[in-house]
Each structure stands twice: as C-alpha cells, then as structure tokens.
Structure 1
Amino acid sequence: MLSNTRKTFVLRKLVLAVCMIFALVAPALAATDNQDGIRINDIIVINKNGQLLVFGSLLGVFTPKLLEAIHSGVTTKFIFDVSLLRSRKLIYDLEVTSRQLHHQVKYSALKKTYTFHLKEGEKEIERKVTKSQGEMTDWMRELNGATIVSGKTLSPNSRYYVKIRARLNHVDFVFPFNYLLAFWGKQSDWSYSQTFSSEGM
C-alpha cells in the first residue's frame, strides 16, 4: 500500500497533469466559440411585389489567413441559416419557414478571377465572376434580397421576425492550409431582426 506521503505526491502529479492538459486543450476549445466577432448585422425585411426579401451583412469574417487560403485555391463556403418566425405571446414563437443559402467562392490564379456561386442545396441560384477582391467579399458576406416568403401567406394581424446565423465551411483544402480546419468550425451567434407585419418593415 502507498504511504500517505506517496499518495500526496501521486495526487499532486495527477493534478499537475490535468492542469497541463487543460492548458493545451483550452485554446482549441475557445476556437470553437464565437470570439472573433463573427456576427450578422443590419437585418432588414422589405416587401417587393408581394415577396418579403431579407437583407443582412456578415462581419468579422475575412481575416488575412482566410484570404490567403482563398488565393491558394481553397474553395470556400459560407452557409446562411435564415428562419422566419411568428411572434406569439405566452407560448413559444412559431417557425413559419426557413432557408439555407450557400455562398461559395473559388479563385483562379491563372485568370486572377473569383467565381461566386449562390446556392440553395444543390440548386444554383446565381453565378458571378469578378477580378475585384472587394466585390468578391461583398458577394460572400451579404444577404442581398433573399426571398423568404410571400407576404400573402402571412396573417396581417400577426408580428414576425427573422433570425439569421452564418457558418463557415470549406469544400476542399490544399496543403499546407489544413491548419485552417479549426477556423472552418466557426459560426456566428443567431442575430434577430426587429418585428414586422406581413408587409415587411
């Protein structure tokens, strides 16, 4: 049997080992939290020809490392989860509809162009090409009039709101940019619009 002194020594070593492991793992765990200021701003909903269109901006996402990866040939995707909810008193709010929009970009070093795709699932909604990095980043981070629902399907006596979250993902990686894997696990918190009627804001 171990003496009390020996037990104390072993216990101290165990505690020290646990602390060292935590010190190594904690930064990796923190990387999964939204500590980089990735967020959705300026959510508005307007009515155009009877359709409710959603606008919003993803901020804090284009770091030098991300741009470096894009220019190396990494196909990069942002996934926007968009939900429309009906506000209800005393009971849970009701989700009316939701969409998942994929903003994807691929850089061609040969042509020095960025090819942008807007998709919903496998369905391509829009494809654009530019040589401007600024234009590319705007396309990637902006929700620019995405249709969420027909206003005619909503109750004129109810109040609604939109919530949006963005997730960062990748399609392919090329060595040595596999170190960015942790970055692609990031996502924004949910952001919420002000409430509005069936006619929009």
Structure 2
Amino acid sequence: MRLGALLVVAGAALALPGAAVAEIRISNLSVFLNDLDVTVQVVLLGAVPPSLHESLHSGVATHVRFNVELWQYSRFWVERRIQTRAVERQLTYNVLTKEYKVASLAGEQREPYLTKSLREAQRVLSDLRVARLAPSSTLDAQELYYVRVRADVSLGGVNSWVSRMAGDAAETPWVQSSLLTVNRSQ
C-alpha cells in the first residue's frame, strides 16, 4: 500500500514540468602571452538568463562568478595548476531610478557601472579581461600551458544543486584553450 502511494507521488513529480534550464555558455576565449604576463579575455553569452529577469526586477541581486585557471600540461604525468583567479560581479536593479548597476565584488578593481538598459548591463557583466594572470618570467619556455575558464550565474550569490534545479542558478562547463608555449613562433 505504501509502495503504491510512493510510486504515484514519484510519478506525479516526474510528470510535472521542471524549471527552465538557463542557457549560458562561454565564447571567445582568447589567451595572450606577451613579454610580461598572461592575459585572458572571455565573453559569457546569456549572462542573465530570462528565468532570472523577474527576480532581478524585484530587487534580488544577480551574481556572476568567473573562475580562470592556468595549467601546465604534462603528457605522461599529472597536470599542474599554476595560477587561479576568481572574478565575481553583481548586477542589481534599482526600482525607483530604473537603473542597473554592475559592481565588482572580488578579483578585480573596477568602478561600478550604471545604465538604464538591461542589454548594456549584460554586456558589461559578461565581458571579462583578466590581466596579469601570471608573469611570463615564471613560466618555463620548454613546457606547454593552457587556460581553463568556467562561469556561474546565481541569484543572491547562492549556486548549489538545489538552486540550479529550481532555475535560480546556472553554470557552464569548463572551457579549455589550445596548448600554449612561451616561445614565439613565426
């Protein structure tokens, strides 16, 4: 009897439509190895998914967190993480002035950006440039390196399995650059 009731409840829960899955992805991953340091540039597409618009316009802050890692490639052994950087930004909406504010919370020094357009706020929120990820003098010229980037978007900065299932958060898989060398090739 209990098993039958449990199966009915489980079947009903599976039949209900789930939360809309937010489509965010990383695009245009560019890594620059100049004479002084390693610089990474990346764009997050769909930085504020439509499922978060209602919460944003009611005053709940949206957080975007980028994780950027520099790895040393090893063909026969375990790869080694050289450097990591986390950049976190916050998008808030002021209901009284109808302005969006993009502020940097961690990982970068940046003035808050105010705009009346959601599209402009998303553009500022999604463009990331990490300068001086690692000094090129610390990199071995004989080794190969690559950069991995991942991003997550969440309401109020809470990114958990439960919040992703509810549609209040989304994350991208790791995106990896091609292998890089310190030596210049012409």
TM-score class normalised by the smaller sequence: 0.7 to 0.9
Shift of 1:61: 4.1
TM-score (ref. length: structure 2): 0.79
**Residues 183/48 of structure 1: CA separation in 2 closer, same or farther (3 Å cut):** farther
Shift of 1:69: 2.0
Structure 1 Cα separation of the partners of residues 80 and 88 of structure 2 = 24
Runs of 4+ in 1 over 4 A off after TM superposition: 25-28
Answering whether residue 176 of structure 2 is matched by residue 187 of structure 1, we say no
Amino-acid identity (%) = 26
Structure 2 Cα separation of the partners of residues 154 and 167 of structure 1 = 29
Give 1:125's match in structure 2, choosing from 80, 92, 109: 109
Give 1:57's match in structure 2, choosing from 40, 43, 47: 43
Q: Which runs of 5+ in 2 are unaligned?
A: none
Give 2:61's match in structure 1, choosing from 65, 75, 83: 75
TM-score (ref. length: structure 1): 0.74
| Structure 1 contact 45–200 (Cα < 8 Å) conserved | no
What root-mean-square deviation, in Å, do the aligned CA atoms of Structure 1 and Structure 2 show?
3.3
Shift of 1:196: 1.2
The number of aligned residues is 180
Q: What are the superposed Cα offsets for residues 93-117 of structure 1, whole Å, 9 maximum, x if unpaired? A: 1100101110111111222222111
The structure carrying a bigger helix percent of its residues is: 1
Give 2:79's match in structure 1, choosing from 93, 100, 109: 93
Structure 1 Cα separation of the partners of residues 90 and 180 of structure 2 = 30
Aligned to 1:110: 96
**Residues 71/155 of structure 1: CA separation in 2 closer, same or farther (3 Å cut):** same
Q: Which runs of 5+ in 1 are unaligned?
A: 1-9, 174-178
Give 1:168's match in structure 2, choosing from 136, 147, 153: 153
Q: Secondary structure at 1:149's aligned position in 2?
A: coil
**Residues 116/199 of structure 1: CA separation in 2 closer, same or farther (3 Å cut):** farther
Answering whether residue 2 of structure 2 is matched by residue 17 of structure 1, we say no
Shift of 1:157: 1.5
| Structure 2 contact 56–93 (Cα < 8 Å) conserved | yes
